Amino acid sequence: MQLLNVLIRNEHDGVLVPIPQYPLYSATIALLGGCLVPYYLNEESNWSLDVKDLRKQVIAARDKGINVRGLVFINPGNPTGQCLSTTNLQQLIDFCFAENLVLFADEVYQQNIYQDDRPFVSAKKVLKDLGSPYSESVELVSFHTVSKGFLGECGQRGGYFELTNIHPQVVEELYKVASISLSPNVTGQIMMGLMVSPPKPGDISYNEYIAESKAVMESLRRRAHIMTDGFNSCENVICNFTEGAMYSFPQIKLPPGAVSAAKSVGKAPDVFYCLKLLEATGISTVPGSGFGQKEGTFHLRTTILPAEKDMPEVMDKFQKFNTTFMAEYSDEKYVVTSKL
Ligand SMILES: Cc1ncc(COP(=O)(O)O)c(C=O)c1O
C-alpha cells in the first residue's frame, strides 16, 4: 500500500497487474485512485507469463493516455499456484528495464514450494545475476510476510519490503510514511525476527524447528497433489498443478445449461456453481471472478489447507457434487428455459 501510494499520483498513473490476481492489488489501486492495467497469465502453459501480452497491454494503455509506471507479479502465484521460471523472471526484468517500470515482486509464498524441478527463484537473485546494466538500474521492491510459509499463525502479523535500486530520496520518503504507523505489534516483530533468522545448528530448538517445519511442508506438498489430482479426475474440470503458494484454481467447463440457469437467477455462472457446491456439500470456495479470469472461462479458488486426513473426503464430496451438477445442467431444458 505504501509503495503504491508513492507510485500513483493520479488516475492517469497505471500499474500492470496479473490476471488472475490477488484482489489486494485491484483494491489498493482503486483506493489510491490509480489505474489497473491488466496482463493475462497463460493458463495453457501453467499460468506462465507472456511478455508479448505485457507489451500489448502497455501499448493499449498508453494509447488511452495512461502513464504505466509499475508492474506487479506474484511468485508463487495467488490464486494460480505457479512458480515462475528464471527465464520468465529475466524477461520481466528486461521488460521493466526497457519500459522504465518499477518491479513489485510479491514473493510472500516463497517457502511454499511443492515440486523440486521448479524451485522458487527471487527476482533479486535474477536481477543480480543478469549483471550490468540491469543490476544497478532496474528498480525492484520485494515483499515478504510471516503469515505464509510454515510460520503462519492466526493473528500474528508482520512483513517487510526490500528496496533495490530505489533512489535514496524516495527511500527517505518511504521511511517518513512508514513512521506514521507508530506502534507495530511486538509479537509480529518477534515472528519476523524468527523468520529471517531461524534457529541455527547447535541452538536448543534447532532439531525441533527442522522437524516441525519439514513436517508442515511435506504435508502441504501431499495436499497439493491430492487436491490437483482430485480436481483433474472430475468431468469438465482442469487444474494446473499447485507448484507453490496455498491454492488451487481449477477451471470448470460449465455446460450451456448451467450458464443459462445462472443467468435466470441473476448470478454469474461461477458464483452459481460455487453456491450450489456450498449448499450441497458445505465446501466453501471463491468464484474465479473475484480474482479476474479470461472472458468465457469459469474458475473457483480453494486453499490446499484442509487437514490432510480430511482431504480425501473433501475431494470425494466435490467429485460427487460435480458429477451430479454436470449431469443436471447438461439437460437441454435449462438452455430452453433461459430463452423464454
Ligand atoms: C499474494 C499475496 N500478497 C500479499 C498478501 C498479504 O499478506 P499479509 O496479510 O500477511 O500482509 C497475501 C495474503 O494472502 C497474498 O496472498
pLDDT score recorded for residue 32: 96
Out of 3.30.420.310, 3.90.1150.10, 3.40.50.720, 3.90.75.20, the CATH code matching 206-339 is 3.90.1150.10
User: Distance, CA 143 to ligand 1 centroid (Å)?
Assistant: 9
Mean pLDDT on 285-304? 95
Start-end ranges of CATH 3.40.640.10 in the chain?
Answer: 2-196
User: Distance, CA 328 to ligand 1 centroid (Å)?
Assistant: 38
Q: Give Rg (Cα) of the chain.
A: 22
Q: Please say if the pLDDT value at position 291 is more than 90.
A: yes
Out of 3.40.640.10, 3.40.720.10, 1.10.287.110, 3.30.460.10, the CATH code matching 2-196 is 3.40.640.10
Q: Please say if the pLDDT value at position 154 is more than 70.
A: yes
Q: Give residue-wise pLDDT tens across range 261-290.
A: 999 999 999 999 999 999 999 999 999 999
pLDDT score recorded for residue 340: 45
Provide the residue type at 211 as one letter: A
pLDDT score recorded for residue 335: 65
* pTM of this structure: 0.93
In a mutational test of the pocket of ligand 1, which residue from 145, 185, 301 has the highest number of ligand atoms less than 8 Å from its CB?
Answer: 145
Ligand 1 contacts CB of residue 159 (under 6 A): yes
Ligand 1 contacts CB of residue 156 (under 6 A): no
The span from the CA of 162 to the CA of 142, in Å, is 5
Torsion 128-132-134-136 (CA) sign: positive
User: Distance, CA 108 to ligand 1 centroid (Å)?
Assistant: 7
User: Distance, CA 45 to ligand 1 centroid (Å)?
Assistant: 25
Upstream peptide bond of 133 is cis (omega within 30 degrees of 0): yes
User: Distance, CA 209 to ligand 1 centroid (Å)?
Assistant: 24
Ligand 1 contacts CB of residue 145 (under 6 A): yes
Residue 284's closest CA among 265, 293, 271?
271
Ligand 1 contacts CB of residue 75 (under 6 A): no
Spatial strand order of the sheet with 13-19 comes to 48-49, 35-42, 13-19, 67-74, 102-106, 140-145, 159-164
Q: Please say if the pLDDT value at position 317 is more than 60.
A: yes
Start-end ranges of CATH 3.90.1150.10 in the chain?
Answer: 206-339
In this structure, how many other beta carbons lie within 10 angstroms of the beta carbon of residue 282? 9
Provide the residue type at 63 as one letter: D
pLDDT score recorded for residue 336: 52
pLDDT score recorded for residue 185: 85
User: Distance, CA 302 to ligand 1 centroid (Å)?
Assistant: 15
Assess contact for 231 and 241: CB atoms under 8 A: no
Ligand 1 contacts CB of residue 24 (under 6 A): yes
Q: Give residue-wise pLDDT tens across range 69-125.
A: 999 999 999 999 999 999 999 999 999 999 999 999 999 999 999 998 889 999 999
Q: Phi first, then psi: what are they for 17, rounded to 5°?
A: -130, 135
- Split at pLDDT 50, 70, 90, the class of 41 is very high
pLDDT score recorded for residue 151: 83
Q: What is the DSSP letter of 168?
A: H
- Split at pLDDT 50, 70, 90, the class of 338 is very low
Strands (E), 146-299: 159-164, 237-238, 247-248, 251-252, 286-287
The span from the CA of 256 to the CA of 259, in Å, is 5
pLDDT score recorded for residue 178: 86
Q: Please say if the pLDDT value at position 196 is more than 80.
A: yes
The span from the CA of 227 to the CA of 259, in Å, is 25
Mean pLDDT on 184-200? 91
Q: Please say if the pLDDT value at position 157 is more than 50.
A: yes
Spatial strand order of the sheet with 286-287 comes to 247-248, 300-303, 286-287
In a mutational test of the pocket of ligand 1, which residue from 148, 191, 303 has the highest number of ligand atoms less than 8 Å from its CB?
Answer: 148
C-alpha cell at 136: 544497478
The span from the CA of 257 to the CA of 310, in Å, is 32
If you average pLDDT over every residue of the chain, what do you get? Answer: 93
Ligand 1 atom closest to residue 148's alpha carbon, by position in its atom list:
10
